């Protein structure tokens, strides 16, 4: 017996008695398989003493070992692959000889049959039952799960009587399979050579999704689904499941121009869609397909963020909501290869990221673009990453539609009971190449020889139902003709439509929030004032520690200092940030702040979540007054790609929640670059998506080396066009305060990128007055507040960010009165007119400099030169170009900074 879990290998019967006694004390104290055995097998102590006298117990355990092997390895021998059967020989097999049993004992009765729900019965019946459960069209992996109760529930679910479908249900499955096949053939004929990423080979996905909404809506009263999927089968799902108008899809194939010229649009198989449709039983379900770029699994994080936002905001429920379910449809190659999958799976059970469990469906083509599984992953299954969560995986033959539906029912029941993820690996094939113009036989000639001879799932199921006399030949012909007529009518309608229309995703949620592109509206001043007496009142609420609680001494010192500053009517950066949140909460807005170490703040500056000595968590911002909004603050795991994607999805759900994501250091944002490039910067133009997410990226050169100096401002500026983003580098607490408030007071929503300070958090000059917060306004450009007579100024220095304070200190130290320091606070959109007016104000200036601490090839210089170079003659002062953002030597850093400052004034 080669199985390392064999129960008889080296186990003495006294050990069994010892295990049984431990089980009685605590079922969780022993290995889960033994616990399950003792739980299900009539193993009372008296009976045990009687049975142990006989050698029969040895045979009982041999059969139990066989049962265990089926549970653990049955999926290797299941009929799950419709194309490539028995390519790999699995050892050890499930042959009786490997378990010390023989065919002579097939008709011998064993008590251990009780463990699989069929009572005392023959070995033959036990094996037949095990094959029926574990080795047909569904192969289930679950024996790595450590919870005995969960294992018991899974087995009971599969041991119950096999699900029987009604005649009407079977006809419906056939109808959906016909739609899947006919839709693909119609497009193949009408739009020859165009990419469509056919679902053929996994057509059963369509009836599976239909049955999912049917089952959940009547059994669990589910109201909404958030679905993410790659391009494979997307158009078919959009038309035949989401019920997107066929004419609209045909227009997209025809390549007609968009009527709205402000949107670039996207290829048809990346677009999202939202709809409310009826189930067969007449219940209404909201369906949302999230737009997705070619970075396939990136949508995974977005789906989870949207779902969590709807749980929090729309359904106002806890995270184990049954009202809304996230569905992720994966490709096998991307699921096993892309790191975002691991990042988001690790979010799934965390307090700030739970969504009540996700149902994963893998459209398993058994191939990437041209890459075989042996080249695409090291694990046996593409779903092996699911085991980190210890949740079940079902491998299902995609040609067996009824088994696919059964797997769907199991997945739903498991998700609703345990609120955990569940994976269905739908093994099919890809009928054509990666796209319909690609030749797959270049690289997989044997596979595609087999595929070319294979009968599709529709034809297989049609034959089955004809044999069962559920449908006749005429029934089938009428069904096929009816659907073909619908497609032809919609095709003709499309020919008469002039313009393409970009359907907006989540349109209902954003119907009162316009999309704005014009400069006048974008740059319009926004009233962010707030009564000073209320600011002071809120300050005392959020900066006063509860007297009845005990806190760490340094925590008490920080909050005492904050109250002292309020008395003097000054605030530092962190106080201004918390007051921005406090005033918005007071006005009823909700806030979500997440990222690495945000609760305390990377630089021990924020302390929005404070802990008592007993580690009780307190958020004083939630204790301002009874009818206020709510702030949620979550430290994320050490993830940028997954966590940023999640929060972008969260912000996508509603214009009424301020969603902020902070990188531990600004350069860590490059870990989420795909989300920034494919969603944050371009989602509005491609998909008509509105999103107001705020990215807080600590930036500034302070001698901490290349990795903690630059948030790569230049990269974000390369993404700016058509007023798609706000990019800001504030230098005063009050400007940051008004910026955050402005984000929610705008009539529209744009992502906001904020380069936040590090050393300025405690710079004694980086202070603002409470009056600045109360009566001020966000200022895109800051003139020099220390210049008394503009006509005495002969030199203008333009800069942005922290370098301003170093220039200010240098100017003071040399008592320079001829240089003005002008700060660009909002870098994009750039207020050109204000800059021109400031330059004109200093009529005696002789030289104009741009000063930055970033190397010449980084920072703002290229952007400033591009925007202002034709109208302003700048001289650049910056470190020389470099491939690395900064030196790793602190003395070298000081030398470079001093050189910049010296050049600026001499």
The stretch 242-258 carries a mean pLDDT of: 93
The stretch 380-405 carries a mean pLDDT of: 97
88-to-134, 281, 328, 374, 449 alpha-carbon distances in Å: 18, 44, 29, 12, 19
Residue 76 CA to residue 862 CA, distance in Å, equals: 59
User: Three-state DSSP class for 55?
Assistant: coil
pLDDT of residue 46: 45
pLDDT of residue 11: 45
| Cβ pair 340, 301 in contact under 8 A | yes
The 10 Å Cβ neighbour count of residue 626 is 5
pLDDT of residue 483: 98
pLDDT of residue 259: 83
pLDDT averaged over every residue in the chain: 92
The stretch 506-529 carries a mean pLDDT of: 94
Say yes or no to pLDDT of 577 above 90: yes
688-to-237, 271, 685, 812 alpha-carbon distances in Å: 21, 10, 6, 50
Residue 562 CA to residue 543 CA, distance in Å, equals: 6
pLDDT of residue 153: 95
Q: Kindly indicate the confidence band of residue 51, based on its pLDDT and cuts at 50, 70 and 90.
A: very low
Say yes or no to pLDDT of 306 above 60: yes
Give buried/exposed letters for 785-808 (b at 16+ CB in 10 A, else e).
Answer: eebeeeeebebbbbbbbbbbbbbb
Token pair in block for residue 46: 């008296």
| Cβ pair 550, 613 in contact under 8 A | yes
Say yes or no to pLDDT of 734 above 50: yes
pLDDT tens per residue, range 764-805: 999 999 999 999 999 999 999 999 999 999 999 999 999 999
Cβ neighbours for 653, distance < 8 A, ≥ 6 positions apart: 305, 306, 309, 310, 313, 314, 506, 509
The stretch 737-753 carries a mean pLDDT of: 98
The stretch 171-182 carries a mean pLDDT of: 98
Of 41-50, 155-164, 691-700, 724-733, least confident by mean pLDDT is 41-50
* Residue 618, phi then psi, degrees to nearest 5: -130, 130
The stretch 175-184 carries a mean pLDDT of: 97
Say yes or no to pLDDT of 48 above 90: no
pLDDT of residue 411: 98
The stretch 603-623 carries a mean pLDDT of: 95
pLDDT of residue 89: 63
* Residue 547, phi then psi, degrees to nearest 5: -70, -25
Alpha-helical (H) ranges within 385-531 are 401-418, 445-452, 457-467, 473-495, 519-522
Residue 87 CA to residue 891 CA, distance in Å, equals: 63
Q: Kindly indicate the confidence band of residue 5, based on its pLDDT and cuts at 50, 70 and 90.
A: very low
pLDDT tens per residue, range 859-899: 999 999 999 988 889 999 999 999 999 999 999 999 999 99
pLDDT tens per residue, range 340-358: 999 999 999 999 999 999 9
- The model's pTM: 0.93
Instruction: Please report, rounded to a whole number, the percentage of residues in the chain having pLDDT higher than 70.
Output: 94
pLDDT tens per residue, range 212-244: 999 999 999 999 999 999 999 999 999 999 999
Say yes or no to pLDDT of 706 above 50: yes
Residue 216 CA to residue 212 CA, distance in Å, equals: 6
pLDDT tens per residue, range 451-501: 999 999 999 999 999 999 999 999 999 999 999 999 999 999 999 999 998
pLDDT of residue 236: 96
Say yes or no to pLDDT of 615 above 70: yes
Token pair in block for residue 204: 């059963």
Q: Kindly indicate the confidence band of residue 190, based on its pLDDT and cuts at 50, 70 and 90.
A: very high
Q: Kindly indicate the confidence band of residue 45, based on its pLDDT and cuts at 50, 70 and 90.
A: very low
| Cβ pair 331, 300 in contact under 8 A | no
Cβ neighbours for 393, distance < 8 A, ≥ 6 positions apart: 140, 141, 142, 381, 383, 386, 387, 423, 424, 425
pLDDT tens per residue, range 540-554: 999 999 999 999 999
| Cβ pair 693, 651 in contact under 8 A | yes
138-to-76, 432, 461, 662 alpha-carbon distances in Å: 10, 25, 17, 44
């Amino acid at each position: 017996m080669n199985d390392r879990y064999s129960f008889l290998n080296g186990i003495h019967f006294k050990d069994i008695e010892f295990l049984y006694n431990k089980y009685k004390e605590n079922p969780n104290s022993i290995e889960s398989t033994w616990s399950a055995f003792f739980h299900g097998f009539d193993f009372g102590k008296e009976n045990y003493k009687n049975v142990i006298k006989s050698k029969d117990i040895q045979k009982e355990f041999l059969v139990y070992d066989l049962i265990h092997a089926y549970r653990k390895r049955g999926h290797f021998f299941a009929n799950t692959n419709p194309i490539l059967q028995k390519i790999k020989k699995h050892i050890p097999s499930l042959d009786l000889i490997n378990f010390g049993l023989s065919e002579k004992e097939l008709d011998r009765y064993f008590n251990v049959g009780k463990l699989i729900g069929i009572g005392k019965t023959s070995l033959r019946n036990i094996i037949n039952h095990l094959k029926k459960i574990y080795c047909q069209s569904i192969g289930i992996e679950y024996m790595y799960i450590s919870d005995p109760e969960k294992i018991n529930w899974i087995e009971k679910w599969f041991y119950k009587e096999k699900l029987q479908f009604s005649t009407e249900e079977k006809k419906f499955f056939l109808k959906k399979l016909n739609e899947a096949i006919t839709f693909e053939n119609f497009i193949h004929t009408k739009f020859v050579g165009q990419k469509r990423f056919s679902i053929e080979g996994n057509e059963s996905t369509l009836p599976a999704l239909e049955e999912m909404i049917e089952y959940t809506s009547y059994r669990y009263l589910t109201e909404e689904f958030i679905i993410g999927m790659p391009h494979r089968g997307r158009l078919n799902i959009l038309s035949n499941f989401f019920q997107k108008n066929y004419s609209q899809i045909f227009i997209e194939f025809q390549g007609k121009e968009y009527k709205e010229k402000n949107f670039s649009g996207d290829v048809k198989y990346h677009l999202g869609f939202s709809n409310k449709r009826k189930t067969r039983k007449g219940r209404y379900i909201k369906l949302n397909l999230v737009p997705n770029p070619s970075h396939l699994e990136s949508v995974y994080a977005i789906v989870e963020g949207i779902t969590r936002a709807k749980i929090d905001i729309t359904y106002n429920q806890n995270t184990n909501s049954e009202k809304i379910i996230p569905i992720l449809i994966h490709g096998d190659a991307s699921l096993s290869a892309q790191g975002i999958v691991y990042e988001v799976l690790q979010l799934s059970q965390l307090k700030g990221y739970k969504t009540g469990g996700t149902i994963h469906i893998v459209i398993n083509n058994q191939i990437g673009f041209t890459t075989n599984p042996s080249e695409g992953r090291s694990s046996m299954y593409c779903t092996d990453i699911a085991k980190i969560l210890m949740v079940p995986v079902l491998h299902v033959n995609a040609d067996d539609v009824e088994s696919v539906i059964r797997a769907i029912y199991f997945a739903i029941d498991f998700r609703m009971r345990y609120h955990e993820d569940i994976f269905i690996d739908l093994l099919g094939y890809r009928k054509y190449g990666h796209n319909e113009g690609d030749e797959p036989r270049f690289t997989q000639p044997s596979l595609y020889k087999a595929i070319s001879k294979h009968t599709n799932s529709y034809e297989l199921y049609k034959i089955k139902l004809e044999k069962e006399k559920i449908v006749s030949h005429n029934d089938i012909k009428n069904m096929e003709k009816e659907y073909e007529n619908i497609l032809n009518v919609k095709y003709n309608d499309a020919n008469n439509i002039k313009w393409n229309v970009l359907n907006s995703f989540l349109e209902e949620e954003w119907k009162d929030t316009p999309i704005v592109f014009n400069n006048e509206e974008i740059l319009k001043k926004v009233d962010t004032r707030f009564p000073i007496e209320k600011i002071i009142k809120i300050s005392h609420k959020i900066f006063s520690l509860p007297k009845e609680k005990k806190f760490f001494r340094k925590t008490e010192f920080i909050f005492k200092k904050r109250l002292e500053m309020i008395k003097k009517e000054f605030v530092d950066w962190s106080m201004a940030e918390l007051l921005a949140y406090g005033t918005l909460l007071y006005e009823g807005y909700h806030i979500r702040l997440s990222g690495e170490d945000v609760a305390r703040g990377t630089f021990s500056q924020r302390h929005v979540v404070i802990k008592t000595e007993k580690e009780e968590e307190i958020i004083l911002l939630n204790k301002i007054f009874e009818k206020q909004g709510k702030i949620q603050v979550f430290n994320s795991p050490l993830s940028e790609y997954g966590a940023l994607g999640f929060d972008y999805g969260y912000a996508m759900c509603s214009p009424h929640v301020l969603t902020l994501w902070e990188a531990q250091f600004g350069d860590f944002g490059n870990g989420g670059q795909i989300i920034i490039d494919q969603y944050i910067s371009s989602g509005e133009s491609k998909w008509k998506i509105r999103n107001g997410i705020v990215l807080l990226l600590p930036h500034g050169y302070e001698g901490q080396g290349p990795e903690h100096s630059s948030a790569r401002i230049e990269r974000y500026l390369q993404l700016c066009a058509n007023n798609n983003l706000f990019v800001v580098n504030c230098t005063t607490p009050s400007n940051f305060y008004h910026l955050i408030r402005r984000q929610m007071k705008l009539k529209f929503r744009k992502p906001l990128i904020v380069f936040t300070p590090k050393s300025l958090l405690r710079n004694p000059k980086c202070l603002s007055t409470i009056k600045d917060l109360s009566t001020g306004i966000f200022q895109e450009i800051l003139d020099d507040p220390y210049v008394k007579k503009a006509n005495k100024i002969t030199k203008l220095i333009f800069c942005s960010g922290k370098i301003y304070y170093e220039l200010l200190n240098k100017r003071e130290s040399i008592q320079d009165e001829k240089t003005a320091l002008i700060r660009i606070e909002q870098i994009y959109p750039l207020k050109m007119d204000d800059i021109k007016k400031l330059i004109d104000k200093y009529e005696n200036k002789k030289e104009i400099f741009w000063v930055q601490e970033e190397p010449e090839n980084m920072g703002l210089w290229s952007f400033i030169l591009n925007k202002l170079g034709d109208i302003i003659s700048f001289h650049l002062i910056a470190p020389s170009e470099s491939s690395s953002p900064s030196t790793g030597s602190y003395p070298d850093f000081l030398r470079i900074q001093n050189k910049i400052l010296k050049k600026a004034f001499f």
